Amino acid sequence: MKRKRNKVRVGDIAPDFTLPDQGGKPVWLRDLLGHKTVVLYFYPKDETPGCVLEARAFRDSYEEFTAQGAEVVGVSSDSVRSHRRFTERHALPFLLLSDRDGAVRELYGVERTLGLVPGRVTYVIDKAGVVRQVYSSQLLATRHSREALSVLATLAERPT
């Protein structure tokens, strides 16, 4: 029996990883942290209806994310080529990372819905690498960006 990995939760240090972006360039989470808060969202598949809505919601709010010192990063098991087409077709201004073997999804403990569909989970990770929010909803795809923006506003209100 395969031992199940624990889920990453609020207060945990976000596990580091390296994955290729839509241009094939390797991206390390640790290189993004320290400079910005990272909104890391896992989604099932490029060009599926819910994933298009979710990506467009992040795109349409992207200026709000950057104004609050955050970078949006999407992750799915689609190929670099698929991500490149998805980015171009929907004018996505943020990184999409290719987790072909699902290792990073497993590292974060993102479960499958009904055991079949890869889960849809968003993590807000502060500059120190601490997970400040985990939002999981397969069906409310567009709510992921709103939830993340709400947490960013709360983090900005805290004294440093």
Residue 10 lies in a domain: no
Residue of 19, 27, 33, 51 marked catalytic:
51
Q: 35 with 66: CB under 8 angstroms?
A: no
Residue 44 lies in a domain: yes
Number of domains in the chain: 1
Residue 2 lies in a domain: no
Residue 35 lies in a domain: yes
Instruction: Spell out the long-range contacts of 153-157 with Cβ–Cβ below 8 A and sequence spacing 24 or more.
Output: 153/68, 155/37, 155/124, 155/126, 156/68, 156/69
What's residue 113's pLDDT?
Answer: 73
Residue 102 lies in a domain: yes
Q: What are phi and psi of 111, to 5 degrees?
A: -85, 165
Question: Looking at the predicted structure, is the pLDDT value of residue 5 above 70?
Answer: no
DSSP letter for 31, please.
Answer: H
pLDDT single digits (tens) 135-153? 988 778 778 888 899 999 8
What's residue 72's pLDDT?
Answer: 97
51 is catalytic: yes
- Whole-number percent of the chain with pLDDT over 70: 93
- Of the candidates 76, 70, 110, 77, the one whose C-alpha atom is nearest the C-alpha of residue 93 is 70
pLDDT single digits (tens) 44-78? 999 999 999 999 999 999 999 999 999 999 999 99
pLDDT band at 2 (very low <50, low <70, confident <90, very high): very low
**CATH code for the domain in which residue 75 is found:** 3.40.30.10
Residue 4 lies in a domain: no
Residue 5 lies in a domain: no
Per the structure block, which two tokens stand in for 115?
Answer: 């055991």
Question: Looking at the predicted structure, is the pLDDT value of residue 43 above 70?
Answer: yes
Buried/exposed code over 145-158 (b: 16+ C-beta within 10 A; e: otherwise): bebbbebbeebeee
Residue 116 lies in a domain: yes
Q: 108 with 7: CB under 8 angstroms?
A: yes
- The model's pTM is 0.92
Domain hosting 45: range is 18-157
Cα distance between residue 130 and residue 132, in whole Å: 6
